[in-house]
C-alpha cells in the first residue's frame, strides 16, 4: 500500500503537476494522507515525534520515497524553463521548500520572480492552538564544544574546517535552512596576488600592488594592517582552496584592479556556488556538526567578560546552550535588512538588494551587544549592475571580459572597469537611472556564467547592432557609432574617451546582446572591528576574550568601497585566520 501511495505521490509532486487533494486540508501532510501515507511513515512510531532542527531524518524519508534531487530533476516536465531541483543552491534538503504542516514555498522565489507551482503551495488554514496543559519546568539542555562558528557561508565553513583540522571539536550554526550564505551568490571571482595560476599565464602581480589597489579602491580609509593581511595571504588561500578540490585556475580582471588577479573556475563559471559546494563537501567529509534552522540569540559571557558559549534557538528543539572555549562570528552583512540599510543610509530606502534573505546583520548585533566595537557602518555598497526589475546580480566579470555600458541614448558614459561606487553613480545619473550592458557572441562564449542570464530571460538580442538597438529601444545609428568607437579603441589599445585600462575583446561577432541594469544594495563594508588575528575588539581597543570574527560581519578591510573579487578573498583568508586563532586558544595558545 505504502509503495503504491509513494509512487503516486512522487508523480504528483513533480514540479508544475497538479497534485491530488483529499479536501481535508491544504498541507503536504494532507496530500500524503489522501494517498494512504500515515504519520508513522515519516515520523516513526514513537509516542512523541521528534524532528531535529536540520530535519535530516524527515529528508531521509523524503529521498527514500521520491529519490534525491537528481532523480527529481530528471522528472521535470518537458519544456519546463526552470528546474527547481537542479540549481546553484546545490544539494539542499527537501524541506527547504516542501513543508509538512504549513504552506510550502519555493525557496527560489526569495530572490527570483519565477511563477512556480508547488504541491501544497496554497495557504494552510491554521487551527486554534489548544490550551497548553501546565508542565513542570524543563531544564534547558546544555552541550559542549571547543569552537562554535555562527554562520555557514564561505567564511564560516572555512573557519570550521580550519579549526577542525587543528584538532578542535566544532559546531557550525546556521539560521537559514541551507548553507552557503551570500557566498553562494558570488559571481565574479576571488582576488589574489602572486599565485601559481597568474605565473602560469605570465601575469606580473605583487602583494604590494594588490594592497595599493585595495586601499585606493576603498578611499584609503581601510585598516592598513587588515588590507596587508588580505593581500599577503591571498595566494596561500588560493592554494588552500585548490588543495580542497576547488578549481579557480582561470584568471580575469574586475574593476579597480591594475592587473588580472580575479580567480574563478575554468571557462569563467560563477565562483561562489563552486567554492561553497567544495567547502560543504569538505565539512561533511570531516563530519563537522552543521546545524541548520538554528539561530544564535545570545553570546554567553562569564563574570570576567569572556565569551564562553552561545544560546541557540532551534526550529524544533527550542532554546538550548552550547558552552565553548571560543566563538567565531561569520554571520555576514545586512544588505537584505531594508530597515537597517535605511537607518544608516536613508537615500537607499526602497532600493532592491542582490542579497539572500539571511543577510540581516544578526551577527553584528550579537557582537555589539557583547561589547564589540562597530566601525564603518554607513559604508554600504550599491552594485552597478543588478538586472532591472529583479534581484539578480550581473557579475562584474561580464564587463571585465569586454562588455560596455550604454545609456538609453545609445552612448557609453563611463569607464566600465572603474570602481563600483563610481559606476553606480554614473548609471544613476542617466535617463531612467538605468543602463544596458552590451556584448557579443565572443564575450558570451568567454564567460560561462553568462548563459545563466539567458536561462533567466534577462537578455535582449539581435542579429545585428541595428536589430539590438530596436530590441532595447535606443537610436540605432548612435549605438552603431558607439560600438564602432569601442572597437577602434580595442584596435588601438587605447580608450581616449573613458580611459578604460583593459579592453580584452572587441564587440564584432554576431549575435549581439544587452541586459538592462540598475544599481542595487549589494555589500556592507562596516561591521565588527577585528585585529589581524581575527579577534573582535572592544571599544577600548582590547581583544574580547574568546570571540573571533571573519567575513562581511567585520569592518575595516574594504574602506568605503569593496573591489569586486575581494569578498571571497576576505572570507577565505580571514576565515582561515579566525579558525586557526580559535583552535589555538582551545589548545592553550596565546590568542585569548
Q: SS3 of 130, please? A: coil
- Cα separation of 226 and 240, whole Å? 19
The DSSP-derived string for 220-282 is: T-S-HHHHHHHHHTHHHHHHHHHHHT----EEE--TT-SS--EEESGGG--HHHHHHHHHHHH
Evaluate whether 421 touches 487 at the Cβ level (below 8 Å). no
For residue 473, give every residue at least 6 positions away whose Cβ sits within 8 Å of its Cβ, in sequence order, or none.
Answer: 408
For residue 206, give every residue at least 6 positions away whose Cβ sits within 8 Å of its Cβ, in sequence order, or none.
Answer: 193, 194
Q: Cell 580595442 identifies what position?
A: 490
508 is catalytic: no
- Interhelix angle for 56-66 vs 2-12, to 10°? 90
- Cα separation of 190 and 571, whole Å? 10
- Cα separation of 363 and 297, whole Å? 9
Torsion angles phi and psi, residue 390, rounded to 5: -145, -175
Catalytic residue among 391, 420, 444, 500: 420
Cell numbers representing residue 460 in the block: 535582449
Evaluate whether 289 touches 56 at the Cβ level (below 8 Å). no
Task: Tell me the Cα Rg of the chain.
Answer: 25
Would you please indicate which residues are annotated as catalytic (active-site) residues?
A: 420
Amino acid at each position: 500500500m505504502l509503495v503504491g501511495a509513494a509512487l503516486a505521490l512522487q508523480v504528483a509532486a513533480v514540479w508544475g503537476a497538479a497534485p491530488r487533494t483529499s479536501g481535508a486540508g491544504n498541507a503536504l501532510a494532507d496530500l500524503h494522507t489522501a494517498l494512504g501515507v500515515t504519520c508513522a511513515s515519516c515520523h516513526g512510531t514513537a509516542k512523541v515525534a521528534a524532528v531535529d532542527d536540520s530535519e535530516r531524518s524527515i529528508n531521509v524519508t523524503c529521498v527514500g520515497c521520491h529519490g534525491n534531487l537528481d532523480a527529481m530533476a530528471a522528472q521535470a516536465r518537458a519544456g519546463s524553463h526552470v528546474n527547481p531541483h537542479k540549481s546553484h543552491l546545490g544539494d539542499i534538503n527537501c524541506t527547504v521548500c516542501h513543508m509538512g504542516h504549513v504552506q510550502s514555498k519555493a525557496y527560489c522565489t526569495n530572490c527570483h520572480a519565477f511563477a512556480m507551482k508547488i504541491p501544497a503551495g496554497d495557504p494552510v488554514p491554521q487551527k486554534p492552538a489548544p490550551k497548553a496543559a501546565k508542565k513542570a519546568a524543563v531544564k534547558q539542555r546544555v552541550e559542549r564544544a571547543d569552537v562554535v562558528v555562527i554562520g555557514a557561508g564561505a567564511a564560516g565553513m572555512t573557519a570550521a574546517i580550519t579549526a577542525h583540522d587543528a584538532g578542535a571539536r566544532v559546531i557550525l550554526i546556521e539560521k537559514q535552512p541551507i548553507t552557503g550564505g551570500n557566498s553562494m551568490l558570488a559571481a565574479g571571482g576571488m582576488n589574489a596576488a602572486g599565485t601559481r595560476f597568474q605565473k602560469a599565464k605570465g601575469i606580473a602581480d605583487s602583494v604590494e600592488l594588490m594592497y595599493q589597489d585595495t586601499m585606493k579602491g576603498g578611499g584609503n580609509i581601510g585598516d592598513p594592517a587588515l588590507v596587508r593581511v588580505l593581500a599577503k595571504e591571498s595566494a596561500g588561500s588560493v592554494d588552500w582552496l585548490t588543495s580542497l578540490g576547488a578549481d579557480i585556475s582561470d584568471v580575469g580582471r574586475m574593476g579597480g584592479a591594475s592587473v588580472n588577479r580575479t580567480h574563478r573556475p575554468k571557462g569563467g563559471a560563477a565562483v561562489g556556488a563552486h567554492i561553497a559546494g567544495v567547502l560543504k563537501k569538505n565539512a561533511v567529509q570531516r563530519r563537522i556538526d552543521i546545524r541548520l534552522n538554528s539561530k544564535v540569540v545570545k553570546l554567553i559571557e562569564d563574570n570576567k567578560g569572556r565569551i564562553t558559549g552561545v544560546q541557540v534557538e532551534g526550529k524544533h528543539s527550542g532554546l538550548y546552550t552550547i558552552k565553548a572555549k571560543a566563538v567565531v562570528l561569520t554571520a555576514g552583512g545586512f544588505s537584505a535588512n531594508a530597515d537597517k540599510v535605511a537607518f544608516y543610509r536613508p537615500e537607499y530606502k526602497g532600493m532592491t538588494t542582490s542579497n539572500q534573505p539571511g543577510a540581516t546583520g544578526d551577527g553584528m548585533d550579537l557582537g555589539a551587544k557583547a561589547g564589540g566595537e562597530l566601525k564603518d557602518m554607513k559604508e554600504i555598497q550599491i552594485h552597478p549592475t543588478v538586472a532591472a526589475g529583479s534581484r539578480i546580480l550581473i557579475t562584474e566579470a561580464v564587463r571585465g571580459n569586454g562588455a560596455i555600458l550604454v545609456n538609453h541614448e545609445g552612448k557609453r558614459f563611463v569607464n566600465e572597469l572603474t570602481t563600483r561606487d563610481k559606476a553606480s553613480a554614473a548609471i544613476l545619473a542617466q535617463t531612467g537611472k538605468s543602463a544596458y550592458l552590451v556584448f557579443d557572441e565572443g564575450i558570451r562564449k568567454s564567460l560561462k556564467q553568462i548563459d545563466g542570464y539567458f536561462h533567466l530571460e534577462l537578455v535582449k538580442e539581435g542579429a545585428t547592432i541595428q536589430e539590438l538597438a530596436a530590441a532595447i529601444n535606443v537610436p540605432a545609428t548612435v549605438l552603431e557609432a558607439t560600438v564602432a568607437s569601442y572597437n577602434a579603441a580595442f584596435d588601438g589599445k587605447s580608450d581616449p574617451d573613458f580611459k578604460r585600462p583593459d579592453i580584452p575583446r572587441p564587440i564584432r561577432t554576431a549575435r549581439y546582446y544587452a541586459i538592462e541594469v540598475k544599481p542595487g544594495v549589494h555589500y556592507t563594508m562596516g561591521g565588527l572591528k577585528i585585529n589581524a588575528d581575527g579577534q573582535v575588539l572592544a571599544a577600548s581597543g582590547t581583544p574580547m576574550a574568546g570571540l573571533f570574527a571573519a567575513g562581511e560581519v567585520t569592518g575595516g578591510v574594504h574602506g568605503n568601497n569593496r573591489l569586486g573579487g575581494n569578498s571571497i578573498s576576505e572570507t577565505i583568508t580571514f576565515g582561515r585566520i579566525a579558525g586557526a586563532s580559535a583552535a589555538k586558544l582551545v589548545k592553550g595558545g596565546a590568542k585569548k
